[in-house]
Structure 1
Amino acid sequence: MHALIFGGNGRIARAMTRLLLARAWTVTSIIRNPQQGPGILALGRGQPGDIHVLQYDLRDLKTAQDAETLFNRTGATCAVFAAGSFSNPYAIDRDAAKAAIAAATSLPSVTKFLMISFPASRRKPAPWWNSRDIADYTSERAAYPDIGDAKIQADEYLVAMANPRRARGGGGQHAHAHAHGPPFQAISLRPTWLTTGRATGRVSIGETRALGQVSIEDVAAVAVEMLGREDVSGWFDLVAGDVEIQEAVDSVVQGAVDCIEGEDVEAIYKLAD
């Protein structure tokens, strides 16, 4: 597999890059500042996978055609959107993400899209939350209104655009993938507050608390575990926990857990272009 990582110099993106290369994936990391290039390329040192760097300002990623050019230029078969902006979330977290999603879902060669989001990216409180969780969620959305609004629009758009893509099949060699799982995997991984501590290898995925902590390294490991499978799609909230990562991913897949529960999915489907 060949992953195109949007926001390649971010902390989660860099940790994912190392793990993907260790699995012998090819990674193309999109960065804005060319000075970041040597550090990204160094992540491939001694790894079985291949690393490439593509300099591109995501503020210029405005249309599906812009993003299709990046996919076609690199030959990527998988997308990871790990970019974000405190200063301009509508340009990056929403518009650039939506352009990447539109391109990925239109290209038969792209079969996986993983979005890094967060648990408060919801229109209303999750049905499994208690009163403290609801208060935390309300506070979180109030503290970062533009980021929250931009993220939820991107998360919903991924769901909306993946729905018809699945219905029409993957195309090409993936056209008969229904027998083995969906031809397009749309994953919204939703980690809580990030820490820089060492990986624990243990997490809680799915119907978690609204807020908590989780290490960047564990987030990356969960993301790569999900991308390495053919049967993962949906929204997955993520906090620190005591379940080994592979077992935790197995559990949400086998239990058909999807944290979109409680949202108006039919209304979300109507957001597709």
Structure 2
Amino acid sequence: MHAIILGGNGRIACAMTQLLLARSWAVTSIIRNPRQEAGILALGEGQPGRIHVLYYDLSDFKTASDAEGLFTRSGADCGVFAAGSFTNVYGIDRDAAKSAIAAATALPTVTKFLMISFPASRRNPAPWWNGKDIADYTSERNAYPEIGDAKIQADEYLVAMAHARRQRDGTESDSTFQAISLRPTWLTTGKGTGRVSLGKTRALGTVAIGDVAGVAVEMLSRDDVSGWFDLVEGGVGIAEAVEGVVEEGIDCVDGEDLERMYALAD
């Protein structure tokens, strides 16, 4: 497999890059600043996979065709959107993400797409939350209204475009296209514990960057994962946690209006 990682110099992206290369994947890392290249290439030292770097400012993504150029140039069959911005929230977290999603779902050669989002990216409190969770969710949305709005628009668009792709492919299963929104809570530094709580979790907590990357790579390494998955620290091994959400059919999109989302497809 070959992953293109948009926002390749981010902490989750770098941790994912190392893990993917260790599994013999090829990785194309998209970065804006050429001074970051040496650090990205160093992630591939001693690894069986191959690492490439391309320069691109994601704020220049205006249409799906802009993003398609990067996918086709790299030859990637898996997309990862790990970018984010506090200064250009709508330009990156929403618009660039949507351009990448439109490109990935339009190209038949791309079979997987993973978004890094967060648990408060939803229109309604989750049905499994208690009163404290709902209060935490409300506080998060009120504290970061633009980020919350941009992320939910991107997450919903991924649902819509993946649904449209599957309809074109003549299937409602995940067999031809996996759309994953991985939704980690507040990040902590460090390599991680290898143990998490994944799926219908509490609304707020912490999780190590290394564990987020571990879950993301485990999901991308399978052919049966698709949906929204909240992530906090916990006591279940990463592979077991991913297996659990697949076996139980867990999707944190529950409680949201899917029909409204599907109508968002271009």
Could you list the per-position Cα deviations for residues 142-199 of structure 1 after superposition, in whole angstroms to 9, with x for gaps in the alignment? 0000000000000000000000111222xxxxx9996xx5200000000000000331
Amino acid at match of 1:249: V
The answer for unaligned runs of 5 or more in structure 1 is 170-174
What does the per-residue CA deviation read over 1:211-250, in whole Å, with 9 as the maximum and x for residues that have no partner?
0000000000000000000000000000000000000000
Q: Does 1:57 align with 2:57?
A: yes
- Matched residue, 1:140: 140
1:90-109 equivalent positions in 2, closer than 5 A: 90-109=90-109
State the distance in 2 between where 1:205 and 1:229 align.
Answer: 16
Alignment of 1:34-45 (within 5 A): 34-45=34-45
**For 2:131 and 2:258, how far apart are their aligned partners in 1?**
24
CA distance in 2, matches of 1:94, 1:62: 11
Letter in 1 for 2:234: G
Aligned to 2:164: 164
Partner Cα separation in structure 2 for residue 98 and residue 262 of structure 1: 23
The answer (yes or no) to whether the contact 2:76–2:110 under 8 Å persists in 1 is yes
Kindly indicate whether residue 144 of structure 2 is the aligned counterpart of residue 151 of structure 1: no
Q: CA deviation at 1:62?
A: 1.2
Match 2:232 to one of 223, 235, 239? 239
Find 1:262's aligned residue among 240, 255, 260.
255
Corresponding letter in the other structure for 1:107: L
Residue aligned with 2:99, SS: helix
What is the alpha-carbon distance in structure 2 between the residues aligned to residue 240 and residue 62 of structure 1?
36
One-letter amino acid of the counterpart of residue 168, structure 1: R
Q: Is 2:180 aligned against 1:187? A: yes
What CA deviation, in whole Å up to 9, does each residue of 1:85-126 have, x standing for no partner?
011110000000000000000000000000000000000100
Aligned-partner Cα distance in 2 for 1:176–1:153: 25
The AA in structure 2 aligned to 1:108 is P
Tell whether the 8 Å contact from 1:182 to 1:230 is kept in structure 2 after alignment.
yes
- C-alpha contact 2:166 2:172 (8 A) present in aligned 1: no
Mapped to 1, the partners of 2:167 and 2:246 lie a distance apart of 20
Q: CA deviation at 1:72?
A: 0.8
Q: Which whole-Å CA distance do the structure 1 matches of 2:242 and 2:166 have between them? A: 22
Q: SS of the counterpart of 1:132?
A: helix
Distance 1:82 1:123 in 2: 22
Equivalent residue number for residue 172 of structure 1: none
TM-score by length of 2: 0.98
Question: How many residues are matched?
Answer: 266
* Aligned-partner Cα distance in 2 for 1:42–1:207: 36
State how far apart, in whole Å, the 2-side matches of 1:60 and 1:235 are.
27
- 3-state SS of paired residue (1:268): helix
Query: Which consecutive unaligned segments of at least 5 residues does structure 2 have?
Result: none
2:66, 2:8 → 1: CA distance?
Answer: 18
Q: State the match for 1:199 in structure 2.
A: 192
| Superposition RMSD in Å | 1.2
Runs of 4+ aligned structure 1 residues displaced above 2 Å come to 175-178
